[in-house]
């Protein structure tokens, strides 16, 4: 876009120059006939030259109006008469001819010498090239410095400064992610009335990190903050810092923080924080990335340096928190992390409401039905869905968007998302519901494991289709054998539920099984929790960092022991499997109740889960 605009202006300049030369050649410059020196000499001799100017290299002058026949070729005379406009101008190259002056005097020709460097030649010979160079230089600089001009701006931050309402986005435009929205509304409130919060000595958070999958509305939320905070809002994206010169990114950070503090109270927003916040010093081959490291160090230093008393709050967003440098997440930097999940049924309906505000819907169209069909969709997908449906309805010359438009748009978007494995079919939804219900129910029936905080069948990330979130009861540094065994059971709960209900199993449990196997292996080889292998520990061959593991590296134990370990792992998992089958078999009615509730609501929190379990068990016993 930008490059296009620039070449556009260049063409303008070139066209203007061409036009100028054309005008000069056609209108301003009179016709001048080129004569050979001998022709010129014969004309002088015949007294046909009326006046002339002798320059350094050329002689120019005018000829007598008539009587040229025989002295010049016919075509030249014709041209002189046709274009000369009554005056016959000529030019000839000057030849070293010392006798010329005498001949001219003899022929009574008026002649003058001339200094040829007129303003035009001067212009053409050095002003124009200079202009061209300056133009080129400015162009290159502009490309390097992007929006601001020249070298001087290179260390300046490119932060866009938004003032009140200039983004046009308000909190009303953000739906379905109420927790995050509430959190940010609070931040805005901090800035508006800091005294209220500091009254009891509390400290306003320095940094808030928005974490969530792409398209869930992180950038949108930040824009809403900009629209509502009524304070200067500096916004830039992590990718803006990818610079060609070492140190420029750091300078930009410094400049942005300085500006923000100058204009405090204010908000700084760094989108795509992961682009600068990647963990430092782990790149084994390249020896790290200097520029990014410096930028990150500067950011860390600035975050430590500024003081929320002055009313500057740092907002950042990322969809890859796992690659962030741990230093960024230390307390005192991003004090708050706001997780934004894919919206649930209810949330999706609210988001649809927001995006259908400006389109014409057929009367009676039920957004809840659409929400139910779009599990896994994020806000951006839903916005896209409404648009697709509107376009389809318009293509068919309808007066309003109806359900068939939405149906088709959903199918189209789902087809696109399926490749990213983010959308699940009703059948898969059922399997995932039973799987997660299995995890949850086993967790609730084991005394030594964490309580279930939330069960969800909304796809999360690429691998996990649903998840059961457990809250640790207390901090754990030691785990007993009973606790590990219970953890094994919870991991197998999903798989066993599938076995019980569908008499078949899916691939969805692979991660659970891997983790269960890991736990069992550790119990046997590290913690001495196996009866048959006793207290001895068995080291795994250690993997050298970044180097391929040479095959056949010696283990610290014999092949026979290795076999025994494998058998013991198998045995431990089988025992857990038996236990879980017994548990879930006995509570099958409850399992079904939880799964059905999940299919209906997608998310079940702790309170609802506990209540549901109690109710079903009371009814069946």
Q: Which does 327 bind (CB under 5 to 8 A by kind): Zn ion, ligand ADP, Mg ion, none?
A: none
- By CB under 6 A, tell whether 383 contacts ligand ADP: yes
- By CB under 5 A, tell whether 499 contacts Zn ion: no
For ligand ADP, the nearest residue by Cβ is 379
Range in contact with ligand ADP (rule: CB under 6 A) among 97-105, 185-193, 212-220, 361-369: 212-220
- By CB under 5 A, tell whether 512 contacts Zn ion: yes
Identify whether 105 is a catalytic site residue: no
| From 70, 214, 281, 284, residue interacting with ligand ADP (rule: CB under 6 A) | 214
- By CB under 5 A, tell whether 494 contacts Zn ion: yes
Catalytic one among 388, 430, 436, 602? 436
Task: Compute how many residues bind Zn ion; rule: CB under 5 A.
Answer: 2
**Whose Cβ is closer to ligand ADP: residue 354's or residue 365's?**
354
- By CB under 5 A, tell whether 459 contacts Zn ion: no
**Whose Cβ is closer to ligand ADP: residue 351's or residue 413's?**
351
Spell out the long-range contacts of 104-110 with Cβ–Cβ below 8 A and sequence spacing 24 or more: 104/44, 104/52, 107/44, 107/45, 107/47, 107/49, 108/47, 109/44, 109/49, 109/50, 109/51, 109/52, 110/50, 110/51, 110/52
- By CB under 5 A, tell whether 219 contacts Mg ion: yes
Three-state secondary structure call for residue 508: helix
Residue 215 CB, nearest distance to ligand ADP (Å)?
5
Sheet strands side by side (includes 603-605): 467-471, 451-456, 603-605
Strand pairing category for 336-339 and 312-318:
unpaired
User: What is the distance between the alpha carbons of residues 27 and 62, in angstroms, rounded to a whole number?
Assistant: 19
User: What is the distance between the alpha carbons of residues 569 and 548, in angstroms, rounded to a whole number?
Assistant: 27
Q: Which does 341 bind (CB under 5 to 8 A by kind): Zn ion, ligand ADP, Mg ion, none?
A: none
- By CB under 5 A, tell whether 493 contacts Zn ion: no
Cα Rg of the chain (Å, integer): 41
Residue 460 CB, nearest distance to ligand ADP (Å)?
15
**Whose Cβ is closer to ligand ADP: residue 341's or residue 512's?**
341
Tokens read off for 39: 């022709």
| From 219, 266, 298, 590, residue interacting with ligand ADP (rule: CB under 6 A) | 219
Question: H/E element holding 51?
Answer: strand 49-54
Provide the phi-psi class of 90: left if phi over 0, else alpha when psi is between -120 and 50, else beta.
Answer: beta
Query: Which of 534, 550, 530 lies closest to 542, judged by CA?
Result: 550
Query: Crossing angle of helices 606-620/426-445, nearest 10°?
Result: 80
Our separate counts of H helices and E strands in the chain read 22, 14
User: What is the distance between the alpha carbons of residues 602 and 436, in angstroms, rounded to a whole number?
Assistant: 11
- By CB under 6 A, tell whether 380 contacts ligand ADP: yes
Residue 511 CB, nearest distance to Zn ion (Å)?
7
**Whose Cβ is closer to ligand ADP: residue 277's or residue 494's?**
277
Task: Compute how many residues bind Mg ion; rule: CB under 5 A.
Answer: 1
Task: Compute how many residues bind ligand ADP; rule: CB under 6 A.
Answer: 19
Three-state secondary structure call for residue 195: helix
For Zn ion, the nearest residue by Cβ is 494
**Whose Cβ is closer to Zn ion: residue 60's or residue 506's?**
506
- By CB under 6 A, tell whether 227 contacts ligand ADP: no
Give me the torsion for CA of 251, 256, 262, 264, rounded to 10°.
-150
CA angle, corner 396, sides to 390 and 398, nearest 5?
70
Residues that bind Zn ion (CB under 5 A): 494, 512
Q: Which residues carry out catalysis?
A: 436
Residues that bind Mg ion (CB under 5 A): 219
Residues that bind ligand ADP (CB under 6 A): 173-177, 212, 214-220, 317, 351, 354, 379-380, 383
């Amino acid at each position: 876009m930008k490059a296009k605009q620039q070449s556009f202006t260049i063409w303008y300049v070139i066209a203007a120059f061409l036009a100028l030369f054309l005008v000069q050649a056609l209108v301003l410059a009179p016709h001048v006939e080129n004569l050979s020196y001998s022709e010129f000499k014969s004309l002088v001799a015949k007294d046909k030259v009326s006046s002339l100017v002798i320059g350094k290299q050329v002689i120019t002058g005018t000829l007598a109006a008539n009587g040229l026949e025989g002295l010049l070729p016919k075509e030249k005379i014709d041209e002189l008469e046709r274009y000369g406009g009554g005056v016959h101008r000529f030019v000839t190259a000057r030849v070293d001819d010392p006798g010329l002056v005498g001949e001219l005097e003899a022929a009574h020709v008026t002649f003058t010498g001339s200094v040829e460097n007129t303003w035009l030649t001067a212009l053409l010979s050095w002003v124009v090239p200079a202009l061209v160079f300056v133009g080129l230089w400015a162009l290159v600089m502009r490309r390097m410095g992007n929006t601001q001009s020249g070298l001087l701006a290179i260390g300046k931050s490119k932060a866009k400064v938004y003032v009140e309402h200039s983004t046009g986005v308000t909190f009303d435009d953000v739906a379905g992610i109420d927790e995050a929205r509430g959190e940010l509304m609070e931040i805005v409130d901090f800035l508006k009335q800091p005294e209220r919060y500091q009254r009891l000595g509390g400290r306003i958070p320095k940094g808030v990190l928005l974490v969530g999958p792409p398209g869930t509305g992180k950038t949108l939320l930040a824009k809403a903050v900009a629209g509502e905070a009524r304070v200067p809002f500096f916004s830039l994206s992590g990718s803006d810092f990818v610079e060609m010169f070492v140190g420029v990114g750091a300078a930009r950070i410094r400049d942005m923080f300085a500006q923000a503090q100058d204009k405090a109270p204010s908000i700084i927003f760094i989108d795509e924080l992961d682009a600068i916040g990647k963990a430092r010093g782990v790149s084994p081959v390249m020896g790290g990335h200097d520029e990014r490291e410096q930028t990150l160090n500067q950011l860390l230093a600035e975050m430590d340096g500024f003081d929320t008393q002055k009313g500057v709050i740092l907002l950042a967003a990322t969809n890859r928190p796992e690659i962030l440098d741990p230093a960024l997440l230390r307390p005192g930097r991003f004090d708050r992390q706001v997780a934004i999940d894919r919206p649930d049924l209810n949330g999706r309906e609210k988001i649809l409401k927001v995006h259908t505000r400006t389109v014409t819907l057929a009367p009676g169209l039920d957004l809840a039905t659409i929400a139910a069909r779009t599990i896994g969709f994020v806000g951006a997908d839903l916005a896209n869905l409404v648009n697709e449906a509107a376009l389809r309805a318009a293509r068919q010359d309808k007066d309003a968007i109806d359900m068939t438009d939405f149906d088709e748009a959903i199918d189209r978007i789902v087809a696109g998302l399926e490749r990213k494995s983010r959308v699940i079919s009703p059948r898969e939804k059922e399997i995932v519901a039973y799987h997660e219900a299995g995890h949850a129910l086993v967790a609730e029936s084991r005394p030594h494991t964490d309580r279930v905080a939330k069960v969800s069948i909304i796809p999360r990330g690429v691998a996990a289709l649903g998840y059961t979130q457990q809250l640790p009861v207390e901090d754990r540094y030691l785990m007993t054998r009973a606790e590990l065994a219970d953890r094994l059971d919870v991991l197998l709960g999903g798989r066993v539920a599938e076995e019980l209900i569908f008499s078949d199993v899916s691939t969805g449990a692979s991660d659970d099984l891997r983790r269960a196997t890991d736990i069992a292996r550790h119990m046997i080889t590290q913690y001495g929790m196996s009866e048959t292998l006793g207290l001895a520990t068995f080291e795994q061959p250690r993997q050298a960092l970044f180097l391929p593991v040479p095959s056949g590296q010696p283990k610290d134990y014999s092949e026979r022991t290795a076999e025994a370990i494998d058998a013991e792992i198998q045995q431990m998992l089988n025992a857990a499997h038996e236990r879980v089958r017994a548990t879930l078999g006995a509570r099958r009615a409850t399992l079904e109740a939880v799964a059905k509730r999940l299919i209906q609501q997608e998310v079940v929190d702790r309170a609802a889960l506990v209540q549901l379990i109690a109710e079903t068990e009371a009814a069946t016993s």
